[in-house]
């Protein structure tokens, strides 16, 4: 399986963790919406970091966990910008009826995944011969 396919698989797992954690905290436990969202985001980003560390980028030398985890969270936050931007743009172009919001969701996820993969490749899980900032 290619590195990108493994990355996408781990990302799908992160999406499941995000959705379940959010639903459990917000609807199941009645926690505030924004707090539930923030905790679910950290849980999902942590899940994808660990999965990518163990599966996607296992062939790369490990950095200290705490440092690499913080880089992964920062990368996820940066990737959220194109994700939400493409989502909004597609909603403006396609409207909000029918399956358009789902098309916008997929477009946003793909845009964010591209940015996150690039950041993971060159920064979070940088190869040994790549200079680290």
Let me know if residue 21 belongs to a domain. yes
Domain count, the chain: 1
Instruction: Give the residue with greater pLDDT, 131 vs 55.
Output: 55
pLDDT per residue as tens digits for the range 76-118: 999 999 999 999 999 999 999 999 988 998 899 999 999 999 9
Query: Taking 70 as the threshold, does the pLDDT of residue 133 lie above it?
Result: no
Q: Report angle CA 72, 63, 44 to the nearest 5 degrees.
A: 25
pLDDT of residue 24: 95
pLDDT (mean) for 51-59: 95
- pLDDT band with cut points at 50, 70 and 90 for residue 130: low
Both structure tokens of 31: 């926690």
Cβ of 81: how many Cβ atoms within 10 Å?
Answer: 12
Query: Taking 70 as the threshold, does the pLDDT of residue 129 lie above it?
Result: no
Let me know if residue 79 belongs to a domain. yes
Select from 124, 3, 117, 132 the least CA-distant residue to 72: 124
Domain that holds residue 12: 3-124
Let me know if residue 12 belongs to a domain. yes
Q: Is the backbone of residue 32 left (phi > 0), alpha (psi -120 to 50) or beta?
A: beta
CB 78 within 8 A of CB 120: no
DSSP 107-132: HHHHHHHHHHHHHIIIIIT--TTSPP
Let me know if residue 9 belongs to a domain. yes
Let me know if residue 130 belongs to a domain. no
Task: Give the global pTM.
Answer: 0.83
* Dihedral, 61, 66, 68, 72 alpha carbons, nearest 10: 150
SS3 category, 63 = coil
pLDDT (mean) for 121-125: 94
């Amino acid at each position: 399986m290619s590195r990108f396919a493994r990355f996408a698989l781990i990302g799908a797992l992160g999406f499941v963790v995000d959705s379940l954690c959010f639903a459990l905290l917000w609807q199941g436990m009645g926690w505030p919406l924004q707090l539930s969202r923030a905790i679910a985001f950290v849980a999902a980003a942590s899940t994808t970091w660990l999965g990518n560390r163990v599966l996607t980028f296992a062939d790369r030398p490990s950095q200290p966990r705490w440092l690499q985890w913080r880089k992964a969270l920062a990368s996820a936050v940066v990737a959220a910008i194109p994700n939400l931007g493409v989502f909004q743009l597609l909603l403006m172009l396609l409207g909000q009826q029918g399956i358009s919001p789902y098309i916008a969701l997929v477009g946003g996820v793909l845009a964010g995944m591209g940015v996150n993969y690039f950041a993971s490749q060159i920064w979070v899980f940088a190869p040994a011969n790549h200079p680290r900032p």
